[in-house]
Structure 1
Amino acid sequence: MRNLELYSTAAIDHLLWATDEDITKRNAPALSIFTDFDHSQPLVIDVHTSAPNALEIMEKTHTYMRLVVDAENKFLGVITRHEFHQNMVKLATKQHSSIDDLSVKDLMIPRENVLSLDFEQLSSATVGDVVRALQENGLHHILVIDHQQHHIRGMISANDLARKLKVPIDIKQPPSFMHIFNYLS
């Protein structure tokens, strides 16, 4: 093992600024903003992880979404911090149990309810097309699937996209039937 020497920064007051500006444009190819699992490991969490532990993991790793897998790494669904904040207390009360008794399985969105984009379609789309799809569907994350290979190829995060575009992306949940009914009543 090599010991690394540490230096004081007291006399250093200049930052290095990149010469190529990495500002993504809305008309850029959509593939430029997608996290490809062929090059990056997917962020996963075991389905049996307790809800408090899962929330702690997500907070410590600064992630808003994790792919839920079983012991064989089979994809089962997704969990987001939104589900934790929206449903954890409500579900514990409904089941007459403690929050500590809940697991990721109780709070996840099952894979049959997860929307995705097709990799082939994404390869001919623009960043603006993706932004519009996220906004119209109230999604902060969207998976990208490869129908030909029959697997999840990657994902797109609205937060990552906003950072690359250097503009905020407003994602509002589309109104559900219940929201409309409650509003009209």
Structure 2
Amino acid sequence: MKKLHLVNLEATDNIITPEQFEEINLASPAVEIFTDFKVHKALMIDGDTMAVTALQLMLKTHVRMNIVVAENDNFIGIISTNELSEQHIVAKLAKGIAREDILVKDLMIPKSDFHAFDYSELLRASVGDVVSTLENYQLRHCLVLDRESHHIRGVISTSDIARKLHMNMDLNVQQSFGSVYDVVHQKASSM
């Protein structure tokens, strides 16, 4: 049996990520920039969770969006750190609702108000097509629907697109999708 030697980690600063090896650009297939729930478990939160608790969890885990579910994990909406902002909480407080009574389902975007990409169409699209569509609809997140199976197949996020395109920007700052779109196109034109 071979004896393996352990090494010191003092000079180690970073953890490698798959994005560091991906060569993705606006012409790349769109499926390369979406989070596929067949590969990655969807980030879900119960609609009856207190809004302040949900925000704390999301900030602690660096998650910007969760799928909101009810009983039996039935999809009822989407919640992001934007909907959980103090501004939205204060609006509920002004209506006489106590802070501890404000739930995720009270602030979420209901599924009836949400749009989705068709997975079969996404298979034939490019990253540039997705960026353009998200910009046109001014969306930060968009679900991907597998219409054949009637399942939510995944999600596309502007922050994921920016990271995979190796864009140098602070994604913790609230930005419109237009600013992400501008940076992507500036980067593409400089290549």
AA aligned to 2:153 is: R
5+ long unaligned stretches in structure 2 = 170-174, 180-191
Aligned length: 166
Q: Deviations over 1:112-156 (max 9, x none)?
A: 001110001100000001111111111111000011011100011
**Contact conserved, 2:68 with 2:108, CA < 8 A, in 1?**
yes
AA aligned to 1:67 is: I
Cα RMSD (Å): 2.6
For the residue of structure 2 that corresponds to 1:56, the secondary structure is helix
For the residue of structure 1 that corresponds to 2:24, the secondary structure is coil
**Contact conserved, 2:69 with 2:76, CA < 8 A, in 1?**
yes
Match of 2:39 in 1: 39
**Contact conserved, 1:115 with 1:143, CA < 8 A, in 2?**
yes
Q: CA deviation at 1:61?
A: 1.1
TM superposition score normalised by structure 2: 0.79
Q: CA deviation at 1:98?
A: 2.1
The 3 A distance-change label for structure 1 pair 17 and 155 is closer
AA aligned to 1:60 is: K
Matches within 5 A, 1:107-118: 107-118=107-118
Larger Rg: 1
Measure the CA separation in 1 of the matches of 2:67 and 2:13: 40
Task: Indicate the larger mover: 162-171 or 22-31.
Answer: 162-171
**Contact conserved, 2:33 with 2:127, CA < 8 A, in 1?**
yes
The 3 A distance-change label for structure 1 pair 100 and 127 is same
Matched residues, percent identical?
38
TM superposition score normalised by structure 1: 0.81
Measure the CA separation in 2 of the matches of 1:89 and 1:59: 19
AA aligned to 1:105 is: K
**Contact conserved, 1:23 with 1:166, CA < 8 A, in 2?**
no
Match of 2:177 in 1: 171
Matches within 5 A, 1:104-143: 104-143=104-143
- Check if 1:158 corresponds to 2:158: yes
Measure the CA separation in 2 of the matches of 1:144 and 1:34: 8
Match of 2:88 in 1: 87
5+ long unaligned stretches in structure 1 = 174-185
**Contact conserved, 2:58 with 2:64, CA < 8 A, in 1?**
yes
Match of 1:99 in 2: 99
**Contact conserved, 1:50 with 1:103, CA < 8 A, in 2?**
yes
The 3 A distance-change label for structure 1 pair 146 and 14 is closer
AA aligned to 1:114 is: F
